[in-house]
A = this chain, B = another copy of it.
C-alpha cells in the first residue's frame, strides 16, 4: 500500500488514505472477545475492534516514512467522522475533517482509520459495520471534494459474475451507481451497498481496483445520457441468507405491520418479503434475513406468531439467491420471462421472486445456485456484456485520473 500511495504523491496528488484492519485482525479480535464473553457489550466491542484500523494506519505511516513520504494517522474520531450512537452499525451523520485538511495542506498524507467514528452525543467510539472502511473512504472523499475515491481490494474489479463459478466472467470497466447498488445488495462482495449509496448521493466517482497490479479496475459513476444501457450487466448471487416462513396467517390488515415492526425493533435487516395469495382467509408470509440473524429472527417470529394467529413457522437455511442486474431492464420487459425460462430449462425450481426496475432476483435451493449463475451468464452472453460506449467512458476516466 505504501508503494501505491507514494507513487500517487510523487505524481503530484494530494492523498488521503483510509485503511481497514490487516488480514484477519478483526476476526481475531472478535474471537478474543467471544472467548471472554459470548455476548460482549456493543460499546466495548467497538472499543476493541477499532484498534485494528488504528494499528494498520500507524504502520502505513511508518512504511511511508521509510519511502520519504510524510504521513500522519488519525482515528475516525480524530478525522471528524461523527456518527449516531448505534454501536456496531453506526451511521455517519457528519464529517468534520479539520485535522485531515490541515495535514494535507501541510503536504502530508492523511491516513484515516476506516470503519469507525465517534458518537455525536456520547463521544463513545463507534463502528460502522461491515464494509465500513469503504464507507469512510467515500464519505471522506465527498467531504474533501476529492476527484476520485479509489478502493483497493483483492480482486481486479467488478465482474459479470463470480469468476470462481463462471470461468469466462469478464471484468466490467464501468457500472452506474444504481447497477452497482443492485449488484451489492444482491450478494456481490466487492462493495457494500451503503458505500455505493453514499457515493451516489454525493456524486463521488469510485474506482475499484486491485492492490496487487496497477491496471485499471471498475469505475462506478453516474449514469450518462449517452450511456448505452446494457440489458443485463452482471449476475450476483448470495448464499448467506435464510428464509423464514409463517404459515396459516389470517389475511387481515395490520398483520404484516406487526411482524415487520417486531423484526425492525430487534434491528433485524429483512431482505426479500413475499406474501402469497390468500386462500380461505389464510396466507403465508415468507422473508429472507442474513443466516447470522436467523436465530434472532426465529425468536421474534416465535413471539409474534401467536399474537397474529399464525398456524406455525419454518426457518430454511438451505436457500440461495441469484439476481440479474442491468440498467437496460427498465426498457426491456422480457428479461424476467427469459430468466425464468433459462432456470426452468435447467430444472431449477424458483421459490421466491422479487424485482426492482433494474434487477430480478430468484430464490432457489442453495445447491442450484452455481448452475443457475452459469446458465444465465451463458444465455445472456455476459462474456460480451460491455458496450462500446462504456469502454470509451472507462478509457477517458483512466486517462484523466490514472497517471
Q: Which residues of A contact B (CB under 8 A)?
A: 29, 32-33, 36-37, 40-41, 43-45, 47-48, 50-51, 54-55, 57-59, 61-63, 65-66, 71-73, 75, 78, 99, 123, 125
- Contact between B73 and A59 (Cβ–Cβ < 8 Å)? no
Interface core residue of A29, A33, A44, A71 (most chain B CB under 10 Å): A44
Report chain B residues within 8 Å CB of A47: 54, 57-58, 61, 73, 75
Report chain B residues within 8 Å CB of A125: 75
> CB within 8 A of A45: which of B33, B58, B123?
B58
- Contact between B73 and A99 (Cβ–Cβ < 8 Å)? no
State the CA gap A45–B36 with chains docked (Å).
28
Interface core residue of A29, A48, A58, A123 (most chain B CB under 10 Å): A58
User: What is the predominant secondary structure among interface residues of chain A facing chain B?
Assistant: helix
Report chain B residues within 8 Å CB of A65: 37, 40-41, 44
- Contact between A99 and B78 (Cβ–Cβ < 8 Å)? no
State the CA gap A49–B29 with chains docked (Å).
16
- Contact between B63 and A36 (Cβ–Cβ < 8 Å)? yes
Report chain B residues within 8 Å CB of A123: 78, 99
State the CA gap A73–B66 with chains docked (Å).
34
The answer to whether A61 and B44 touch (CB under 8 A), given A29-B55, A99-B123, is yes
6 A-B pairs, CB-CB below 8 angstroms? A33-B58, A33-B59, A33-B62, A36-B59, A45-B58, A54-B54
Measured CB to CB, the closest approach of chain B to A276, in angstroms, equals 43
- Contact between A73 and B44 (Cβ–Cβ < 8 Å)? yes
Report chain B residues within 8 Å CB of A72: 43-44
- Contact between B32 and A59 (Cβ–Cβ < 8 Å)? yes
- Contact between B55 and A51 (Cβ–Cβ < 8 Å)? yes
Measured CB to CB, the closest approach of chain B to A100, in angstroms, equals 13
